[in-house]
Structure 1
Amino acid sequence: MELKVYLSGEIHTDWREQIIQGCQANDLNISFYSAVTDHDKSDAAGDVLGAEEKSYWRDHKSSKVNAIRTRTMIEKCDVAVVRFGDKYKQWNAAFDAGYCAALGKPYITLHSEELIHPLKEVDAEAQAWATTPAQVVDILKYIVCK
């Protein structure tokens, strides 16, 4: 069985690569999808629609273009992994988790113990909470029965 996994959230560490490499090392039949992880490219996604003088409108257009990608990826995935880092607030990741919950898509949260309280509602809807990418790999390994 091929599993389609959407990787959402924090972009400042290599957690995505750790999960992908861990799954490859276990020869798991998994396709991975992700949001654009380059800040500048993501911020400029709406620039193709014309320049804006005010940053609000630039961000607004770019967020809508990014939403096309995000919604498409979440809708086609079998499971999502939503990573919350310690340094920045990932409001987009919380939104992605909520979208998964609304669609009935299973998701795994990945974050430190320090974020248990602020993410209690997000975690309450998750099918699993992991603290390391290796734990996510083990969960995915179990899902695909390897």
Structure 2
Amino acid sequence: MKLTVYLAGEIHSNWRNELKDKAAALKLPLLFVGPMENHERSDNIGEDILGEQPNPILKDAAASQINNLRTGLLLKKADLVVALFGEKYKQWNTAMDASTAISLGKPLILIRPESHHHALKELSEKASVTVESVNQALKVLSYIFEDGK
């Protein structure tokens, strides 16, 4: 059985590659998908497809429509969602993706540092599992495939 895992979270650090590499080393049968990680591509996709927009607000709106379509489709197809809230960046997109996963009934592994406990307490209570590190999330993913013998 191969599971599709949507990796929600900030796109500025290397956490996705760390998780993917460790999962591959364990030979876990996982296919990873997620948001567009190329920030420039994500910001410009609306104009790349629809043409130049008359102002920055409409440029953002055009890009958001296309990014939301992509994210929504991939979230719906995912078997499981891992959402990382890190220390450094404002993470509204992560909160939106995690909330969407919950509303779709998708199992959610929420990664958040202890320092974000209070800010994310409601979201954490709706997640399937809350952990504090990528390594702990990997252990949860690995446990899914243990045969119990």
TM-score by length of 2: 0.94
> Which amino acid letter does the alignment assign opposite residue 25 of structure 1?
A
Cα distance in 1, alignment partners of residues 146 and 64 from structure 2: 37
Q: Secondary structure at the match of 1:8?
A: strand
Output the amino acid matched with 1:113.
Answer: E
Per the alignment, residue 71 of structure 1 pairs with 72
- The residue aligned with 1:142 is 143
The CA deviation at 1:84 is 1.1
Q: Please, what TM-score do these two structures have when normalized by structure 1?
A: 0.96
Contact 1:82–1:110 under 8 Å retained in 2: yes
Number of residue-to-residue matches in the alignment:
146
Name the SS of the counterpart of 1:117 in structure 2.
Answer: coil
Would you identify which runs of 4 or more consecutive aligned residues in structure 1 move more than 6 Å? none
Report how far residue 144 of structure 1 moved.
2.2
RMSD: 1.0
What amino acid maps onto 1:117 in structure 2? H
Take 2:121 and 2:57, find their aligned partners in 1: how far apart are those partners? 30
| Residue of structure 1 equivalent to 2:113 | 112
2:45 is paired with a residue whose SS is coil
Tell me the secondary structure at the aligned position of residue 108 of structure 1: strand
SS at match of 1:44: helix
Deviations 1:10-50 (CA, angstroms, capped at 9, x unpaired): 11111111111111111111100011011111101111112
Q: What aligned pairs does 1:2-13 form with structure 2 within 5 A after superposition?
A: 2-13=2-13
CA distance in 2, matches of 1:102, 1:29: 25
1:80 aligned to 2:84? no
Percent identity of paired positions between Structure 1 and Structure 2: 37
Please list every run of 5 or more consecutive structure 2 residues that lacks an aligned counterpart in the other structure: none
- Partner residue, 2:18: 18
